[in-house]
Structure 1
Amino acid sequence: MRKLDDSAIEKKADTLHGWMVVKRDGGPRLEREFPFDDFTDALAFTLKVGVIAEKADHHPLMETGWGRVRVVWWSHSLGGLSERDFEMAEKTSALYVR
């Protein structure tokens, strides 16, 4: 895995619907909040994301609350974003069915 530069991040971010690139703790991260009708649906989505994260051995920050799940992807070891983060964001979006 290699850390993407700002230009590559900008190009790739344009292809992700609903995701934002945010700077936190000095590095870029991919962040999206997914709305749900209740806590049960939010929790079920959190578990689905957890399964794909575990299979990929790449784990996001997730905050689950009533009617929402916030997912944040970044490569901790690189202190920024990699191709894998964008792949995982796409996989996460694919799990979201409304």
Structure 2
Amino acid sequence: MASRLAEKTCTPCRGGVPPLTPVEAEGYRTQAPDWTLMDDATRIERRYRFKDFGEAFAFVVRAGELAEAEGHHPDISFGWGYASVSLRTKKIKGLHENDFIMAAKLDRLADGAAGVEPRRED
């Protein structure tokens, strides 16, 4: 299921749409099972583990490139052997399908799966 989300592209969110309800958010979360619903289902979060600081830093760089390409920007903190990522759609103050699309793409990126290179607009 997560791979299906990872094949989608984030769509621009200009606000004015309601955030996902907790039930809807849980439905998406089942497609990104390593993520946790937080703050009354208004954001999702995951902590990734890596073998050292270099791997964590490399993931953060790739995640930043992916976020720029998708136009959807997570909050990321990292240190030796870990990176924590939090997603929510700030314009609607809650969750949107885009958050789960990014979650699935970040999971693939962390797993080193092919096909998740940030798309570039030429």
Structure-2-length-normalised TM-score:
0.74
The corresponding residue for 1:82 is 96
Where 1:55 maps in the other structure, the secondary structure is helix
Aligned length: 96
> 1:34-53 maps to which residues of 2 (within 5 A)?
34-53=48-67
Contiguous gaps of at least 5 residues in structure 2: 1-12, 113-122
Q: Distance in 2 between matches of 1:84 and 1:95?
A: 16
The corresponding residue for 1:92 is 106
Structure-1-length-normalised TM-score:
0.91
Radius of gyration: which is bigger? 2
% identical aligned pairs: 32
The corresponding residue for 1:30 is 44
Contiguous gaps of at least 5 residues in structure 1: none
Contact preservation (8 Å) 2:60, 2:83: yes
The corresponding residue for 2:24 is 8
Q: Which has the higher strand share?
A: 1
The corresponding residue for 1:17 is 33
Q: Cα deviation per residue 1:29-87 (whole Å; 9 max; x = unaligned)?
A: 11000001100000000011101100111100000110000011100111000000000
Q: Distance in 1 between matches of 2:41 and 2:30?
A: 18
Q: CA deviation at 1:27?
A: 6.0
Q: Where in structure 1 do 4 or more consecutive aligned residues deviate above 6 Å?
A: none
